[in-house]
Amino acid sequence: MFDSTAADVEHSIREEAPFAVDGHQQATRHLENSIGQNVHILYLPNTERTSMSDAEIDRLCMNISRTFPSATVQEAHGVYEGVRRPILMARIRTDDTDAIVALAQRPCHEFDQRFMGVEVGGRYIRIYADDTM
């Protein structure tokens, strides 16, 4: 049964996206575009150069949990205005871009940020604090 199903899937992929010589790139690209949801990355850029303690991470997680059931929050480092600073990044899987923008607006005030960054599909925008008024 497995072999039969695998053969059917392989045939479908070949029909939908003809393989290149090695076949791998086009099959992978086809699968990536056909399944799953967008993953939005929310950047808390630490525009005011404050510390990012567990309390700030917890606050960001609480903000996210008001709207989304799950997310991945990471501590990272970024460069802004020529200065390295600790930042927070959240990865959220959703098709609701409006909810992501609304979420990004809240931490602008709660974390005293000039803006929040939002990335989806390799495209980045800034949500500014004054956009929330």
**How large is the average pLDDT for residues 89-104?**
92
Q: What is the pLDDT of residue 106?
A: 86
Tell me the pLDDT tens digit for each residue of 17-76: 554 545 555 556 655 555 677 899 999 999 888 888 999 999 999 999 999 999 999 999
What radius of gyration do the chain's Cα atoms show? 20
Q: What is the pLDDT of residue 131?
A: 67
Max CA pair span of the chain:
59
Name, in order, each residue with C-beta under 8 angstroms of 35's C-beta and a sequence gap of 6 or more.
Answer: none
Q: What is the pLDDT of residue 12?
A: 66
